Chains A and B, each alone.
Chain A
């Protein structure tokens, strides 16, 4: 049991206050907690959203032994495995599934993979980030394992007690999982920031093991084929984990005017977001949508231009540290959540901001 030696090494680390109740500590001693994190990677590194899942796994138990599952094929997969191995001190093993059918995020093959890895490893928890990949794959894998998954966890109170938003974030539901192992969940990565010091993993060697992919039932995997991905390559930071986000709504009136916002984003080193109205009107591509049906963001600074602030939009940004709203309509609901509101025409404000903002460092 390699994880056990890792655990002993960990006992001597200063631990961080995760549990509020002694009952849960007793629980964690009584049961061995081991978590499988289904991670995404790109260009040879683990995606930031998956790194947050490691932080969430640590929140389940400070003596968690984390196994990371990576799939795909080729050189970037091996690089990502090396990166994963050194990305969190609780990681005890990296599992690599090298197969052509995993090169694309097809739910059918990934769910089979998670199913077989879980059957072999008997983990107490299986998690992934609440990305479109995680939301697509994890519930299917849960159905194969006959358990109820939990979506979009924002807080872990005890190893089996979780908080998740319902009704577009207008209520928080605390749920206790009483089913059989594994407890499967997707976590909201903006709620589990990765601590800088947790990347200190020197002096540990983490085994990287290959997963046997020959066991897949061919028949169910042939039923879906990946054709293509159309994406907008941008130089700007990724919307999901940018420090600053500037968002435009219907008030921008055209795709042309969104260029103004892009200039502003450049100056701030920010990502550009949009409301559903702006996406539906064709101003910007859909992957920029922030809200209940788009991306959930929680940057340090969120600037909303010409955004009215519908419930569904607020669901995607209400946890931002500082919210700034610029809107002509003084009664727009966005002003109720904004820390700083400015009632003005955004076509006057944006150029003025461009002129007066300090150069980004």
Chain B
């Protein structure tokens, strides 16, 4: 069985993003980019499944402009066997085009969907929060749609927000614990299935130097959306991107008494 992991290149999660003055989007030039943390977790889980003998091969896939190859290289250094780069032009994080169009999450799920039918992948791990335009669960766009849409397009069962994955090779099924509003929910899915990861699934490994060297000789196959018969068109246009409203500056109090007094008389919340 093969596992496909969709990874996305995003602004590093520790960066405080700045909105461009012309309201066209968020400043991404000269900003540190890295692999979406959820995608790292998805990849780690896939590698563990491979190491436990449940899967034979882990394929990393990224959709976007040229620099996405760097993200795939990172995935290969972590241990993915090979990678596929769906070279989609457009407003990727490093795209030179000044006018960001927005995202249509629907074409992109179709990309992994067509890939997975092409290479008969059994389990997919996707990160958890997905992004409209490039569509992998990502912390920049906070969409949280890709995995579900991929599953819908493939008519495969889905398990989102996974915090525990147990694969049964014999029965061809996977048991997944999900993080839901009320606690933890356990589902059992027939393979093939789509799984999206929660932060609590695992602790991703770091790529070691020898593995980074080895990753240089691994293959990144480049395909275009046209080759996959996917049309990337958008149902959503971004009108503007603005700063969230600023909170008015707060005050520091010096004692609990003062705090309670302020909450009673000024804020009137007690």
Residue positions of A touching B, CB distance < 8 A: 105-108, 111, 131-133, 135-144, 146-152, 161, 164-180, 220, 222-232, 240, 244, 276, 279-280, 285-287, 292-293, 295, 300-301, 311-312, 318, 321-324, 335, 337-344, 349, 352-353, 356-358
Contacts and interface: CB of A to CB of B under 8 A. Distances in A.
12 contacts: A131-B181, A140-B158, A151-B142, A165-B244, A173-B240, A177-B236, A179-B235, A220-B155, A227-B187, A301-B270, A340-B253, A356-B260
Contacts, number: 261
A339 B247 contact: yes
A175 B179 CA distance: 29
Q: Interface on chain B toward A: helix, strand, loop, or mixed SS? A: mixed
A222 to B, nearest CB: 8
Count chain A CB atoms within 10 A of each CB in B153, B185, B240, B241 and give the residue with the most: B185
Given A225-B187, A339-B250, A166 B141 contact: yes
Contacts of A352: 256
Residue with the highest number of chain B CB atoms closer than 10 Å, among A138, A148, A232, A324: A148
B219 interface: no
B33 interface: no
Nearest to B153: A143
Most B CB atoms within 10 A — which of A168, A220, A232?
Answer: A168
Contacts of B163: 286
A249 B160 CA distance: 26
A235 B255 CA distance: 31
With most chain A CB atoms within 10 A of its CB, the pick from B140, B253, B256 is B256
Interface string B240-270: 1111100110111111110110111001011
Interface residues of B, number: 85
Contacts of B158: 107-108, 136, 140, 224
B182 interface: yes
Given A171-B17, A318-B247, A240 B181 contact: yes
B193 to A, nearest CB: 8
Contacts of A324: 259, 263
Contacts of A341: 250-253
B149 interface: yes
Interface stretch (B45-53, B72-80, B99-107, B114-122): B99-107
B236 A224 contact: no
A285 B247 CA distance: 30
B20 to A, nearest CB: 10
Contacts of A174: 238-242
B56 interface: no
Which has the most chain A C-beta neighbours within 10 Å: B14, B163, B179, B199?
A: B199
Nearest to A311: B16
A312 B148 CA distance: 23
Contact of A170 (B143, B156, B244, B254): B244
Contact of B239 (A175, A286, A340): A175
Given A148-B236, A349-B256, A143 B106 contact: yes
B179, B259, B267: which has the most chain A beta carbons within 10 Å? B259
B11 interface: yes
Contact of B13 (A228, A279, A312): A312
B205 to A, nearest CB: 17
B81 to A, nearest CB: 27
A140 B152 contact: yes
A136 B160 contact: yes
Given A165-B244, A167-B17, A321-B269, A173 B238 contact: yes
A151 B269 contact: no
B188 interface: yes
B108 to A, nearest CB: 10
Contact of A139 (B145, B193, B263, B267): B145
A169 B244 contact: yes
Contacts of B252: 335, 340-343
Ranked nearest first, the 5 interchain pairs of A and B with the lowest CB-CB distance are A179-B235, A143-B152, A231-B183, A139-B148, A139-B145
B244 A139 contact: no
Interface in B98-140: 102-106, 109, 128-129, 132, 139-140
Contacts of B71: none
B263 A340 contact: yes
A209 to B, nearest CB: 26
B36 interface: no
Contacts of A140: 148-149, 151-152, 158
